[in-house]
Structure 1
Amino acid sequence: MDLTPSGALRRGICALTVAATVPYLTLKSLWLCGSTVGFAPGAEIADSGALWAGNLVTFVMDAVAVLLALALIRPWGRRIPSGLLLFPAWVGSGMLGALLLELPLVFGTELLFGTEPSIDAQSWLRPWVFAVVYGGFAVQGLTLLAGFGLHARERWAGLLADRIGDLPRTATLGLQRVLAVTAAGLAVPLAATRLYWALGGDLARPLRLTEGHRPARIIDAVTAALLLAACGAFLHVVLRRTPERPLAPALVTGWVAGGAVFAWGSWTVFAWLLTPEVPEQADVVPPAGQLAEAAQAGVGLLLLVLGALILIERAHAAADVQSAG
């Protein structure tokens, strides 16, 4: 099978990714132009600048997915500096990877237990909108992860073949360990809080999410698992307790789970900043809940810095070996 950048497999992956973004980008374009397509009958939507800005930001985010898909298959993509490619790929992998875990659980529980009455803040949308949007996200998640995996296997084959003990012991290793332990120290109580919410706890939750709302509780359970998986993977790498183990499993786990923690934590904080008006009483997040969401963004930021240090130090060590040889 041809796995080169011009190969049929990569072209197919890119085409599927682009095709999956078309419905979402079309819908967002219509909303940005003032259309009410997809709105439920009788829905009353305030003429909010925050809503328009949110639609613009999410349109740009999905447009970046198109550019990323092209970069992963075209020769010019390998000339893009690693950092410029890795950051959007990491955020996209985490955001869409979390959805790939959550969507089967949400739809599976609906098949088993039935659909809950609509109490969501977005009940003003027609049901087909969710099918189009999340169906597209699922396809994008699968294709972008596959495309990035092929790109990484070609561009960073040496890193993926390394053992944990092959990573360089540089002057920043102590800092890496401090960052990993700090992130884990924050992640454990955050994961416990998410599990408490997932099991039905309502303390520090918005009123809207205290009346059942099964999907939100599933998301909380998945987020708890991702927090623990991400920090566990990074601790495994920086503590070097099993240097003979292959690096790839921890790297992939830290990549997807850490990206999810960072992406969704940061998105929640960004959404708060984007909505300056006072929300409805049912949507008000208690201070403790706000602290938990902000702390998740903080954990994600620590993992971002830690991952960048690991990759930069490894790249410098590889360059030194090549120059010496």
Structure 2
Amino acid sequence: MRIHENAVRAGAAWTAVAATVPYLTLKVLWLTGCPVGSDDPGELDRLWLLNLLTFGMDAIAVALALAFVRPWGRRVPAGLVAFPMWVATGLLGTILVALPLYLSSVLVLGPEHSSGQGTDIGIADWVFFVVYGGFTVQGLALITAFTLYARQRWADLLRARIGDLPRSPTLAVQRSLGCVAALLGLGAAAARVYWAAGGSVGMPIAMAEEHPRGVAVMDAVTAVMAVAAPTALLVLVFRVRPGGRLRGPLLVAWTAAGSLFGWGSWQLVAFAATTTRVTELRTAVPGLMPLVQAGQVVAAVLVLTVGAMALCERAAAEQPAPSSEPAAR
């Protein structure tokens, strides 16, 4: 069984590495001044920093995939694997949910009549399929490899039950922070539902005028994540169903909070970097969309903080107590 899992993990990890090649190649071409797939080289030049950032993000995904199959991957400190994989799970997992929904809407309702994906910078349609097709394969493969890696490295944690979490002195703080995360999540979810349903108050003017269907789908998915992450956290910190498996709510909190953090941070960075469209980004309620994005990032950080506190305390509680007997001479 272990040999079979190792083979699947290796296959998934190397598939994830291969899936990054088209995207990384495209980014290298854009960064070196080759505007393949775009009819606006000037705009690509203005987005050079964003292209460099996304190149680095995909390069980190390659490093993660290698960590899941190489011997040194088990010796890497847990945080150096867990944090980037948390972000990667949120970013890629959201695409795995949102992309089928968007494509289904195209099949049922027909293509959008607005300018659609990427045409602000003159991106050809085939680039969308190359990029998001690669993200889909990468997401499925990388998450599969990580799941099998985690089953070996953190097997005891995944077998634990909610009631096994210690009732530590910080539990009151954990519960308070969880409630704050829930309030922020509900606020972000309400705004995202409003925008997904067609509301335009607080949206950038250009986006509000076109209201792309893909953006509406992402808003709807983000709203679900904004409710799911703090809800799963509250299940853990209030010990709801203490006999239930820990891995269920832990998986939901991990994925949903990673989505809130990854996409919220990315959208904040993207808005800040696209200074060439300052006038288009002005909204009827100034700062509302960045405020929502910042709120979901803070909610995600609170979920991460509380989860890390609880898991670290559990690990500390499982450490054997030091012996009080003098060592034999």
1:246 to 2:245 alignment = yes
1:262 & 1:212 partners in 2: Cα distance? Answer: 23
Identity, % of aligned positions? 46
Distance 1:232 1:321, change over 3 A: farther
What is the letter of the counterpart of residue 192 of structure 2? R
Aligned to 1:170, the other structure's residue is in SS state: coil
Aligned residues: 319
Distance 1:80 1:31, change over 3 A: same
Q: Which residue of 1 aligns with 2:29?
A: 30
C-alpha contact (below 8 Å) 1:265/1:300 kept by paired residues: no
1:68-90: CA deviations, max 9, x gaps? 00101122111011111100010
Distance 1:47 1:115, change over 3 A: closer
Distance 1:322 1:291, change over 3 A: same
Q: CA deviation at 1:272?
A: 3.2
1:4-39: CA deviations, max 9, x gaps? 78x321221112101100000000001110001011
After TM superposition, list the pairs within 5 Å mapping 1:252-291 onto structure 2.
252-275=251-274, 277-285=275-283, 286-291=286-291
C-alpha contact (below 8 Å) 2:10/2:145 kept by paired residues: no
Distance 1:3 1:237, change over 3 A: farther
1:97 to 2:93 alignment = yes
Unaligned runs of 5+ in 1: none
Distance 1:201 1:3, change over 3 A: farther
2:159 & 2:95 partners in 1: Cα distance? Answer: 28
1:244 & 1:135 partners in 2: Cα distance? Answer: 40
Aligned to 1:63, the other structure's residue is in SS state: helix
C-alpha contact (below 8 Å) 2:35/2:41 kept by paired residues: no
Please identify, of 236-245 and 287-296, the stretch whose mean Cα deviation from structure 2 is larger: 287-296
1:160 to 2:151 alignment = no
Unaligned runs of 5+ in 2: 325-329
1:86-125: CA deviations, max 9, x gaps? 0001000111001110000011101111111342472010
TM, length-normalised to structure 2: 0.91
2:278 & 2:27 partners in 1: Cα distance? Answer: 24
Distance 1:305 1:53, change over 3 A: same
Q: CA deviation at 1:320?
A: 3.6
1:320 & 1:170 partners in 2: Cα distance? Answer: 17
What is the letter of the counterpart of residue 217 of structure 1? A
Q: Which residue of 1 aligns with 2:225?
A: 226
Distance 1:309 1:38, change over 3 A: same
1:181 to 176, 179, 184: 179
Q: Which residue of 2 aligns with 1:82?
A: 78
1:62 & 1:47 partners in 2: Cα distance? Answer: 18
Q: CA deviation at 1:208?
A: 2.2
Q: Which residue of 2 aligns with 1:296?
A: 296
Please identify, of 284-293 and 59-68, the stretch whose mean Cα deviation from structure 2 is larger: 284-293
1:93 & 1:82 partners in 2: Cα distance? Answer: 16
Distance 1:34 1:237, change over 3 A: same
2:80 & 2:226 partners in 1: Cα distance? Answer: 25
C-alpha contact (below 8 Å) 2:9/2:149 kept by paired residues: no
1:70 & 1:159 partners in 2: Cα distance? Answer: 23
TM, length-normalised to structure 1: 0.93
1:72 to 2:68 alignment = yes
C-alpha contact (below 8 Å) 1:119/1:208 kept by paired residues: no
Q: CA deviation at 1:48?
A: 4.2
Aligned to 1:282, the other structure's residue is in SS state: coil
- RMSD (CA atoms): 2.0
Q: Which residue of 1 aligns with 2:327?
A: none
Q: Which residue of 2 aligns with 1:111?
A: 107
